[in-house]
Amino acid sequence: MNHPAGFEGGRLLVVAFEGWNDAGEAATGAAKLLVERLGLVEIASVDPELYFDYQFTRPTVAVGDDGVRRLEWPGAAILGPSGDPGSPGQARVTGPGADTLHVLLGSEPARSWKGFAAELVDAALTADIEGIILLGAMLADAPHTRPLAVFASSENPDVRDALGVDRSTYEGPVGILSVIADQAERVGIPTVSLWASVPHYVHNSPSPKAVLALLGKLEELTGLSIPRGNLEVEAKAWEAGVNALAADDEDMAGYITQLEQARDAVDAPEASGEAIAQEFERYLRRRGDGPEGRADGRGEGPRPAP
The pLDDT score that the predictor gives to residue 8 is 78
Q: Which DSSP helix (H) or strand (E) runs through 72?
A: strand 69-72
* Residues 280, 148: Cα–Cα separation, whole Å: 14
Q: What is the DSSP string of 240-292?
A: HHHHHHHHT-HHHHHHHHHHHHHHHHHHSTT--HHHHHHHHHHHHHHHT--TT
Q: How far apart are CA 120 and CA 188, in angstroms?
A: 14
Task: Quote the pLDDT of residue 305.
Answer: 36
Task: Give dist(CA 224, CA 227) in Å, integer.
Answer: 10
Please give the Cα distance from 120 to 303 (Å, whole number). Answer: 24
CATH homologous superfamily of domain 12-287?
Answer: PAC-like subunit (3.40.50.10900)
Judging by DSSP bridges, how do beta strands 76-80 and 150-153 pair with one another?
unpaired
- Rounded CA separation 302/306 (Å): 12
Give 292's Cβ-side CA count (13 Å radius).
Answer: 19
Q: What is the DSSP letter of 143?
A: -
Is residue 93 within 8 Å of residue 5, measured between CB atoms? no
Phi first, then psi, for residue 123 (nearest 5°) are -65, -35
pLDDT at 296: 37
Task: Give the model's pLDDT for residue 235.
Answer: 94
Taking CA atoms, 182 is separated from 118, 155, 299, in Å, by: 10, 9, 22
Dihedrals phi, psi of 22, to nearest 5 degrees: -135, 55
pLDDT of residue 282: 58
Low-confidence residues in the chain, pLDDT < 50: 289-306
